[in-house]
Amino acid sequence: MVGEILILTLLTTTSVQDCGLLDKILPGFEKKFQCQVRVVAVGSGAAFRLGKDGQGDILLVHEPEGEQNFIREGYGTKRYPVMSNEFILVGPKEKEFKEKSDLIKILREICDSRWKFVSRGDNSGTHRRELQLWKKAGVKPKNSCYLETGQGMIETLRVANEKGALALTDNATFFRHQNELQDLKVYYARGQELINQYSLIPVSPERFPKANHKLALKLVDYFLSSEVQNYIKTFGSEWGHQFFKPAVK
């Protein structure tokens, strides 16, 4: 095996890629285990689909329901929570809501006042969460006020910024790119209902014998090591925010 380099394919969501976290964490892993991590950043929905097709070794996703299904159907082995952050509601600076502290009421007001809302519309974890929230609020914006981009988080935020519209985003992507999203501000944050849990799921070695299960487990250990967990805690300070909470206290 001289000269052959091990490759680990990580199927992940756009948010961890867009905020720059993986670029900071993965080189250390690659160096330590003499391997190369190929990151495929797509929405969580697509990550599950690619995982089911055997296109990857391990998933880093944030959609609890989909994760449970993925494991129950035998595609993944186990869910390892590695970190969490939160979703926030952002929108144009001039908007004021009557009830600022109740997300459900805010959502209803968005519909009633026909304020524009930009949705990921791409089956990602963020998109699924947004749909759950509309369901909880029992309303959904009219088609003409509801823009589906079908793209990643940062592209969607750019559309919101241009169109003067609201959007649900993870805090990391938003604060990381705030300098180019100058027309947007945070309306709602720190809600219990908006916690966003990221987990690693190695694909099942029984189902996909070619998957590199050993290396996938090493990546889990690496993410949960105190070195990386401490780094996750400090990540974002450059932009004046803590983006993620590590899973191991």
Partner 1 sequence: MNAYLEEIREVLLLSLGTCTVSLSLVFIFGLPLTLFLFLKKFSRKNLILALCQSLLFIPSVTLGLLLYFLLRRNGVLGSLELLYTPGALIIGQFLLIIPLFVALSYHLLRSLGTEYLEQVISLGANLFQLGFAVFRKCRPQILAAVIICGSRVLSETSMAMILGGNIKGQTRLFTTAIVLHTMRGEFEIAVLLGLVLFLISAGLGFLFILFQKDGTAD
167-196: contacts with partner 1 (CB under 8 A) = 182-183
Contact 242, 176 (CB under 8 A): no
Q: Which is nearer to partner 1, 26 or 50 (CB)?
A: 50
Tell me, letter by letter, the H, E, C secondary structure of 190-223.
CCHHHEEEEEEEEECCCCCCCCCHHHHHHHHHHH
Interface characters, 195-214, with partner 1 (x: CB under 8 A): --------------------
C-alpha to C-alpha distance for 153 and 157, rounded to whole angstroms: 6
Out of 9, 12, 77, 149, the only residue in the binding site for partner 1 (CB under 8 A) is: 149
Cα 68 from chain centroid (whole Å): 16
Residue 146 CB, shortest distance to partner 1, in Å, is: 9
C-alpha to C-alpha distance for 38 and 7, rounded to whole angstroms: 7
Interface characters, 24-53, with partner 1 (x: CB under 8 A): ------------------xx-xx--xx--x
109-128: contacts with partner 1 (CB under 8 A) = 121-123
143 binds partner 1 (CB under 8 A): yes
51-70: contacts with partner 1 (CB under 8 A) = 53
Q: Which is nearer to partner 1, 147 or 217 (CB)?
A: 147
Candidates 103-111, 148-156, 191-199, 240-248; binding stretch for partner 1 (CB under 8 A)? 148-156
Q: Which is nearer to partner 1, 85 or 126 (CB)?
A: 126
Two tokens, residue 153: 């988080």
Alpha helix stretches (DSSP H) within the chain: 14-18, 21-33, 44-52, 64-72, 103-112, 125-137, 153-163, 171-176, 213-224, 226-234
Q: How many CA atoms lie within 13 A of 178 on its CB side?
A: 15
Contact 216, 36 (CB under 8 A): no
158 binds partner 1 (CB under 8 A): yes
Q: Which is nearer to partner 1, 86 or 122 (CB)?
A: 122
9 to 2, 15, 31: CA distances (angstroms) = 21, 17, 16
Residue 151 CB, shortest distance to partner 1, in Å, is: 6
147 binds partner 1 (CB under 8 A): yes
Using CB under 8 A as the criterion, which residues of the chain lie in contact with partner 1 when the complex forms? 42-43, 45-46, 49-50, 53, 121-123, 143, 147-151, 155, 158-159, 161-163, 182-183
